[in-house]
Chains A and B, each alone.
Chain A
């Protein structure tokens, strides 16, 4: 009997072994190694012999670093403004695309296209659209009488909002697709019953659609919050953190410290703190979901 159970367990472990090896090699080991590096003044060219143990010094440095703190504030702004706007817009558009709209197949493709297009190419096109003098966006604003149109990526006030607009536009297609899957899973009988009871379109949306897609909304809220915090390519391609440090993000700061200044100890400490911040935000979201997510 015991031999049989052992065989059964052994077979089970064998099944999960490939993914366990992958997880250990590519996730767990790098995390543990990063924790180790974060406690060292690490010389990546001399290895352990050329490095010194500094305890929590790197962590203290992170909190004193103006670029990290600036990046953190910008990341929080993105989380607070860009993520809700993205989710609201995606749900609204998904709802429209789920109803009888002309050419909805083509529209779905159009919305999804930015998500699968190279970020460098899309960012350059976006920068051209928002060009201060020659861009069609400011051209339109001027045509409707707005003389002092924003300078978008070229101004301290507008650089982060412009990147946020780009980020929302780029991720919209993905969120719409996920919302659509959720919307299509809602049984039409709920809407039919509501109609018989005389519910209006808005009532149906808020009383039926919203609660029933709340697990999807929660999933997207968590993943998009993480994505917004991990923003790097958009910043690198569009502004390189500028003007000044107005569009710096934490990941961009970590990248610069690790791969331009080769300060792996500091960059690892910043990464660990970044991980803890994301973990805290996700935990808050998990705790909060009990109040509004209906499974």
Chain B
């Protein structure tokens, strides 16, 4: 009898615990509710920077990828000194790259994170789909923020699912970096600093620069496992990551340029042997900083590489860095690819009006101070851009004037480097699975393309 009573009691405890769990989630739902309520309350008391009134409360920012830019931290200090934020505690979390995984879990658990940095549109899209970040259209409208005017060509990165999800911030633009010493040893002329070479010329150059074998091998170039290293040529020709989709919204992978780009990359690995194989890069965990070890002739990379070039303590080198425009499919008009990161609000953002105000201000103030990374705000000058970083790098060609000309050239055609459209993360994963098989010689090119087409189309047409 007692045993029965005990088992009933245990069951009641378990059910209570289960319901408590459900109600915890209910609470997290209500956290966002109370966030919304808190928002309204603060609106009524604080109302708006634009009207000159000040805010109050606490803002917690997880900068993740934005943390690398010192100007961001300096901008936070500027904000802390502003009158309108004198009653606001602006807190920046000690972030690492792992926060991409851990912060969404903290948010799900109800922890207050008011602003989070999305490093690229794929992250923004997957977080928007999952609910890690929330739309900000209402607050954008309330503030009267014209995203298109404020962020110009980067405004498109604010949107996912046709709603504003982020304030465009750090912009990546790429260039072809090269090791002058390897060019000198191979007796090859440096690339033209102003006129881009074609992809075919780039591959031929990589082959010429390749020498040695075993541990002494010098590769003409290095391609990481990042997918744009093979599909970059294709999207540059087609006009950006949007062209991974055809007019029906299905996979456009059967466009011959994708097969061409794949095959040429494969040839660099296995025929010219001018880049390490894909398997080598993956299994040896090669990081982009590997370029700084002096064993690779050329490396396509974003402006963040300038930080490593400037940091001669961590990346000591006896060779000079050279920079050239990205290779292009044809002609002499420079083309480049990249993306913009964004600051977004989360379901646990306490005061949405304040969060948006801070996001806009921090992007603007960072833009005024930034040196190594372009910021998306078009309403202010970026007078320091590349100034101090060029001085720190102290290489003959890497001057402030040249970096300005290379990265801020108005004639450059700028395309989005990521798959841009429906279910991009799933699309990218399927492409990765199939391309890996091709790059490790487990299947041929035709099979790779047809498998991607079949699997991606099926995924896109499927509800889930």
Contact = CB atoms under 8 A, between A and B. Distances in A.
Nearest to B17: A29
Nearest to B440: A243
Nearest to A70: B433
Interface in A24-39: 24-25, 28-29, 32-33, 36
Contacts of A260: 101, 126, 425
Interface residues of B, number: 46
Interface string B1-26: 01000100000011001100110111
B131 A45 contact: yes
B18 A36 contact: yes
A248 to B, nearest CB: 9
Contact of A244 (B13, B130, B437): B437
Contact of B13 (A24, A43, A127, A128): A24
Interface stretch (A152-160, A184-192, A287-295): A152-160
A61 B131 CA distance: 22
Find the residue from B21, B126, B278 having the highest chain A CB count within 10 A. B21
A61 to B, nearest CB: 7
Interface stretch (A82-90, A131-139, A217-225): A131-139
Nearest to A9: B2
B461 interface: no
Interface string B269-307: 000000001111011110000000000000000000000
Interface string B430-464: 00111011011110000000000000000000001
Given A132-B280, A242-B436, A46 B131 contact: yes
A155 B439 CA distance: 10
Contact of A154 (B13, B14, B130, B282): B282
Contacts of A36: 18, 22
A240 B277 CA distance: 17
B283 A239 contact: yes
Nearest to A127: B283
B104 interface: yes
Given A9-B2, A46-B347, A152-B283, A29 B18 contact: yes
B105 interface: yes
Nearest to A20: B10
Contacts of A242: 282, 432-433, 436
A32 B27 CA distance: 20
A133 B22 contact: no
Interface string A60-90: 0100000000000000000000000000000
B107 interface: yes
B122 to A, nearest CB: 11
Contacts of A151: 279, 440
B437 A131 contact: no
Interface stretch (A47-55, A103-111, A199-207, A269-277): A47-55
A44 to B, nearest CB: 4
A13 B278 CA distance: 60
B28 to A, nearest CB: 5
B433 A131 contact: no
B344 to A, nearest CB: 13
A61 B462 CA distance: 12
A244 B14 contact: no
A47 B28 contact: yes
Interface residues of A, number: 44
Interface string A236-260: 0011101111100000000000011
A14 interface: no
Contacts of A132: 277, 279-280, 283
B322 interface: no
B22 A245 contact: no
B131 A259 contact: no
A124 interface: yes
Interface string B198-232: 00000000000000001100000000000000000
B328 interface: no
A262 interface: yes
B352 to A, nearest CB: 15
Given A33-B21, A131-B284, A154-B280, A44 B434 contact: no
A4 interface: no
B130 A33 contact: no
A133 B214 contact: yes
B310 interface: no
A28 B214 contact: no
B406 interface: no
Given A44-B108, A45-B347, A29 B21 contact: yes
A154 B21 CA distance: 44
B158 to A, nearest CB: 20
Contacts of B442: 155-156, 243-244, 246
Contact of B26 (A49, A127, A152, A262): A49
Given A29-B17, A240-B282, A261 B433 contact: no
A179 B119 CA distance: 50
A151 B26 CA distance: 51
A244 B282 contact: no
Contacts of B433: 242, 244-245
B324 interface: no
A155 B440 contact: yes
Contacts of B280: 131-133, 154
Nearest to A25: B17
B234 interface: no
Given A29-B18, A151-B440, A242-B436, A45 B284 contact: no
B29 interface: yes
A24 B14 contact: yes
B146 to A, nearest CB: 29
Contacts of A133: 214, 280
B132 interface: yes
Q: Closest 8 interchain pairs by CB? A: A154-B279, A47-B25, A45-B131, A262-B130, A156-B442, A47-B29, A243-B436, A153-B283
9 contacts: A45-B32, A46-B32, A47-B26, A47-B27, A133-B280, A134-B215, A244-B436, A259-B104, A260-B425
Given A48-B29, A243-B279, A243-B436, 20 more contacts: A29-B18, A44-B131, A45-B347, A47-B25, A48-B25, A48-B26, A127-B285, A132-B277, A133-B280, A134-B215, A151-B279, A151-B440, A152-B283, A154-B277, A243-B439, A243-B442, A244-B433, A261-B126, A261-B130, A262-B104
